[in-house]
């Protein structure tokens, strides 16, 4: 965020959970939410990264270590939220993993923590489903759920399994809009393009630059602004959409 940018307090008094909040897009969003007045719970698997993120954010933040593909970890997360607050207003289901294995080299499981089909689907699809489902009892009517999808869900890019997992997430935003309409909970997807985070190598970012109409990679803070919009009342009549923050890459 630039020094001259004024941050409104659109999210004053809200309680939010951000999965994958210890790095990249999730961390930038946690910063933004706190600046806008929210109390945030952030998650990630690596305790060290989580501790660093909590320290960096500095106030109104709690780190809860856990893996979104582990249902017991999700129960622990929401129990922590429940112990400290009686409700949840915003959920940013953002944790995800990427893999660019082309067809022909996809394997069933993973060795040495190399990412393969099991892991992608376990984290990006199963993990996201239960992240949202297990949060529902804590939601009061009128909350906002934002899911991190990707331009990879719409484009024929590298990493078909990753792309398919993100297309599933986009589809969840539509279906859950219907499932949750009686509770007045809005569900939207945000689809980043190429964003400068530890997830993508510098080589990948350089190679792809030519295909981005805006001719630059995005910053996590630019995604965070869109997520804060979807979390706030500024988007009160918006649900079920996919909001691209992609410098135009998936629009041409
Ligand atoms: N960067 C891009 O260009 C881009 C583009 C489109 C979509 N996205 C999506 O944006 C989301 C965030 O990615 P990012 O770019 O910000 O990457 P990042 O900087 O690597 O952050 C990923 C975050 O997710 C956490 N995480 C990963 N697996 C997890 C798991 N199983 N359980 C809990 N937390 C987990 C990581 O912490 P630990 O590793 O400690 O668990 C970290 O906090 C992902 O869903 C990604 O697919 C990114």
Q: Is 22 in the pocket of ligand 1 (CB under 6 A)?
A: yes
Percentage of the residues of the chain whose pLDDT score is greater than 90: 83
Among 24, 118, 222, name the best residue to mutate to test ligand 1's pocket (greatest count of ligand atoms within 8 A of Cβ).
Answer: 24
Distance 182 CA to ligand 1 centre (A): 31
Which atom of ligand 1 is nearest to 149's Cα? 7
Distance 20 CA to ligand 1 centre (A): 6
Asked whether the predicted pLDDT for residue 71 surpasses 90, the reply is yes
For residue range 164-188, list pLDDT tens digits in order. 999 999 999 999 999 999 999 999 9
Q: Is 208 in the pocket of ligand 1 (CB under 6 A)?
A: no
| Range name among 59-73, 96-110, 218-232 with the lowest pLDDT average | 96-110
Instruction: Enter the pTM of the model.
Output: 0.97
pLDDT at 7: 82
Asked whether the predicted pLDDT for residue 107 surpasses 90, the reply is no
Distance 246 CA to ligand 1 centre (A): 16
Nearest by Cα to 83 from 138, 153, 23, 33: 138
**Strand 139-148's sheet: what is its strand order?**
61-65, 39-44, 15-18, 88-93, 139-148, 186-192, 242-245
- Could you give the CA distance from residue 98 to residue 123 in angstroms, rounded to a whole number? 10
Distance 109 CA to ligand 1 centre (A): 20
Mean pLDDT estimate for the chain: 94
Active-site positions read: 162
Task: Write down the number of H helices and E strands in the chain.
Answer: 8, 7
Cα 210 to chain centroid, rounded: 26
- Could you give the CA distance from residue 63 to residue 38 in angstroms, rounded to a whole number? 14
Percentage of the residues of the chain whose pLDDT score is greater than 70: 95
- Could you give the CA distance from residue 79 to residue 117 in angstroms, rounded to a whole number? 30
Q: Is 24 in the pocket of ligand 1 (CB under 6 A)?
A: yes
Among 46, 77, 95, 191, name the best residue to mutate to test ligand 1's pocket (greatest count of ligand atoms within 8 A of Cβ).
Answer: 95
- Could you give the CA distance from residue 202 to residue 235 in angstroms, rounded to a whole number? 34
Asked whether the predicted pLDDT for residue 114 surpasses 90, the reply is no
- Could you give the CA distance from residue 232 to residue 238 in angstroms, rounded to a whole number? 10
Say if CB 65 and CB 47 are below 8 A apart: yes
H runs (alpha helix) in 116-215: 117-120, 128-135, 160-179, 202-208
Per DSSP, the three-state class of 246 is coil
């Amino acid at each position: 965020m630039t020094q001259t940018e004024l941050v409104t307090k659109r999210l004053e008094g809200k309680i939010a959970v951000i999965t994958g909040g210890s790095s990249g897009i999730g961390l930038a969003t946690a910063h933004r939410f706190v600046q806008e007045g929210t109390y945030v719970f952030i998650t990630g698997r690596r305790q060290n990264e989580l501790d660093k993120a909590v320290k960096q954010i500095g106030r109104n933040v709690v780190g809860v270590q856990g893996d979104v593909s582990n249902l017991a970890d999700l129960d622990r997360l929401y129990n922590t939220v429940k112990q400290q607050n009686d409700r949840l207003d915003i959920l940013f289901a953002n944790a995800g993993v990427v893999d660019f294995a082309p067809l022909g080299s996809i394997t069933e499981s993973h060795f040495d923590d190399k990412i393969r089909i099991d892991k992608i689907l376990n984290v990006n699809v199963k993990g996201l489903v239960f992240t949202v489902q297990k949060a529902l009892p804590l939601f009061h009517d009128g909350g906002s759920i934002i899911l991190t999808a990707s331009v990879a869900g719409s484009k024929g890019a590298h990493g078909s399994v990753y792309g398919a997992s993100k297309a599933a997430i986009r589809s969840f935003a539509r279906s859950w809009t219907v499932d949750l309409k009686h509770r007045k909970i809005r569900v939207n997807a945000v689809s980043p393009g190429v964003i400068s985070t530890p997830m993508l190598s510098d080589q990948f970012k350089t190679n792809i630059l030519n295909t981005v109409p805006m001719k630059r990679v995005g910053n996590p803070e630019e995604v965070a602004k869109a997520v804060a919009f979807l979390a706030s009342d500024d988007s009160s009549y918006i649900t079920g959409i996919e909001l691209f923050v992609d410098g135009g890459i998936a629009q041409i």
